[in-house]
Chain A
Amino acid sequence: SQQGEEDPQALSIQEGENATMNCSYKTSINNLQWYRQNSGRGLVHLILIRSNEREKHSGRLRVTLDTSKKSSSLLITASRAADTASYFCATVTDNNNDMRFGAGTRLTVKP
């Protein structure tokens, strides 16, 4: 079953714009991870943020975590057509053997 819920379900932007995707979850977590899925591939791990962290950066990616609101956001800056994919958040509980994925946000970046 899913725990994370991403919104929006679909997002369409122009190349160069920023894309923000949100994830909300229900139970306490050890960490939260963001993944990307392109056509014909499985999930690709993007970034992991632990419950005691508030913000992390990786290249054009910025992830925030607000444990009081049980929510996270993924920001992709200066988007490119190659960023077109589905993006998923996954939560990991404290015992680290239970990973739950949301339904994903489908991002389309138009050239």
Chain B
Amino acid sequence: GAGVSQSPSNKVTEKGKDVELRCDPISGHTALYWYRQRLGQGLEFLIYFQGNSAPDKSGLPSDRFSAERTGESVSTLTIQRTQQEDSAVYLCASSLAWDFYSSHEQYFGPGTRLTVT
């Protein structure tokens, strides 16, 4: 079946511009995650949605970052006034649910490579 999709796959933007990244999770997955991966580093957790709610936004690196999810489906990550340090691959993942005693498998999208010049 269809996996997690993200768009665009690549985005080059000028410093100071706003960007919007999109994630379409697997249908029926209630949990959705955003991560950032800088070159050669591990994943950096940004935000997590259970349904349309984000219980904890403390992982977002600054107030220039925001995310929303609608219809327990598509999610957008918005970065305002982009800076060069925002350059990274932004990954989205979804899972059926998050519960300590149930499956934790997260299905990752291909990522959006953001380059801020």
Are B56 and A40 touching (Cβ within 8 A)? yes
> Given A40-B56, A101-B105, A103-B105, is A45 in contact with B42 using a C-beta cutoff of 8 Å?
yes
Residues of A with C-beta under 8 A to B59: 41-42
Interface flag for A2 (CB, 8 Å): yes
Are B105 and A43 touching (Cβ within 8 A)? no
A90 to B37, CA, bound (A): 14
How many B residues, CB 8 Å from partner? 27
Are B104 and A103 touching (Cβ within 8 A)? yes
Contact of B48 among A2, A41, A104 (CB under 8 A): A41
Query: How close is B98's CB to chain A, nearest CB, in angstroms?
Result: 7
Determine chain A's interface SS by DSSP, over half rule: strand
Residues of A with C-beta under 8 A to B45: 41-45
Query: How close is A107's CB to chain B, nearest CB, in angstroms?
Result: 11
Mask: chain B, 38-80; 1 = CB below 8 Å from A; 0 = not: 0011111111101000011001000000000000000000000
Mask: chain A, 65-102; 1 = CB below 8 Å from B; 0 = not: 00000000000000000000010101000001101010
Contact of A43 among B40, B43, B89, B103 (CB under 8 A): B43
Query: How close is B113's CB to chain A, nearest CB, in angstroms?
Result: 9
A41 to B60, CA, bound (A): 12
A97 to B110, CA, bound (A): 8
A86 to B104, CA, bound (A): 8
Query: How close is B56's CB to chain A, nearest CB, in angstroms?
Result: 6
Are B105 and A35 touching (Cβ within 8 A)? no
> Given A35-B42, A103-B103, A106-B100, is A41 in contact with B108 using a C-beta cutoff of 8 Å?
no
Q: Which residues of B contact A (CB under 8 A)?
A: 33-35, 40-48, 50, 55-56, 59, 89, 93, 98, 100-101, 103-106, 108, 111
Q: Which residues of A contact B (CB under 8 A)?
A: 2, 33, 35, 37, 39-45, 48, 86, 88, 90, 96-97, 99, 101, 103-104, 106
